[in-house]
Amino acid sequence: MKRPLKFALCCFAGLMCVAPFSPTPALSTPAGVTQKVDFEQHFRELGVNGSILIYDLNRDRTFQYNPSRNATAFLPASTFKILNSLIALETGVVANQSALLTWDGVQRPIPEWNQDLTMQEAFKRSAVWYYQVLARRIGQDRMQKWVAQAKYGNQTIGSEAEIDKFWLEGALRITPQEQIQFLQRLYQNDLPFSARSLAIVKDLMVIEQTPAYTLRGKTGWVGFADKGKTEIGWLVGYVEKGKDVYLFATNIDIRKPQDAAARLELTRRCLKDLGAL
């Protein structure tokens, strides 16, 4: 049975809070007993600033650290590749995950981008140019229609001139809370896409598969030309362990190169605390 995701911001300083949630406004106190889970230690040990939100789908419980940040909207960066992939498949811009695009010969700072790539390779390597080509082929009108139908973030993609960059430096914004809502609809096949498109994208998202669990996700990195701004790192996705499903959205400041790797390590530590890994 599908269950709408509800949020309540029950925070005690830097502690994560866990509780069943009522459908009342976000700043209300949920009914029931609140348990505190200390995720702050992981942020401290890894030396990063940010937030994490984990939703236990079957038990209708939310675990979060830094709830005010979880309600703050950010550029989605490459986490938008999840939706971009769905739209490209649904519109026939690409046939499947093996769709090959020819590299334009422009040398980019990540060497593994500088070659012909399939969608599967481009997703795993987070190759920006590949998804910019897809966005241009989709076009502004179709892209706006699908972003709105998917109810993704603030649904603002800008003009035709911004079609290949709106998720990187445009007006599109999404909160960690909204990422979880989108992921829940993805997991439950409740997005306006065919079962085939959804299955292909879920396969693209697999990060790790073991006999005990399957971890799916997508990273993102919001960079700025203005170096005075703090760059932002994302990791969003979900874990299936037996019948249990945990959806997560991790959002941190990127202040040094090693912070990028902390996105996955931080998420894994928090999921392990919950027995999800």
| pLDDT tens sequence across 26-63 | 322 233 233 467 899 999 999 999 999 999 999 999 99
Give SS3 for 18: strand
**What does the pLDDT look like over 100-124, one tens digit per residue?**
999 999 999 999 999 999 999 999 9
Q: Is the pLDDT of residue 4 over 90?
A: no
Which of 22, 28, 51, 78 is the catalytic position?
A: 78
Residue-level pLDDT at 66: 97
pLDDT given at position 258: 87
Whether 231 and 221 have beta carbons less than 8 Å apart is answered as yes
Q: Residue 215: which pLDDT band, with cuts at 50, 70 and 90?
A: very high
The pTM assigned to this predicted structure is: 0.88
* 1-74+175-277 CATH, one of 3.40.710.10, 3.10.129.10, 3.20.20.70, 3.10.450.50: 3.40.710.10
Level-2 CATH architecture, domain 75-173: 3-Layer(aba) Sandwich (3.40)
Backbone angles phi, psi at 221, to 5 degrees: -140, 115
Of residues 273 and 27, more confidently modeled: 273
Q: Average pLDDT, stretch 69-79?
A: 98
CB-based contacts of 256, cutoff 8 Å, min separation 6 = none
Q: Is the pLDDT of residue 162 over 50?
A: yes
Min mean pLDDT across 91-100, 166-175, 218-227, 264-273 is at 218-227
Structure tokens at 185: 């609809």
Domain ranges of the chain: 1-74+175-277, 75-173
Indicate whether 16 pLDDT > 80: no
| Nearest one of 1, 22, 234, 203 to 118, comparing CA atoms | 203
pLDDT band, very low/low/confident/very high, at 230 (cuts 50, 70, 90):
confident
Query: Is residue 159 among the annotated active site residues?
Result: no
Mean local confidence (pLDDT), 187-215: 98
Helical packing angle, 176-187 and 81-90, nearest 10°:
40
Burial class for 66, CB neighbours closer than 10 Å (0-12, 13-18, 19+): buried
- 1-74+175-277 and 75-173 have identical folds: yes
Q: Which residues contact 33 (CB under 8 A, 6 or more apart)?
A: 19
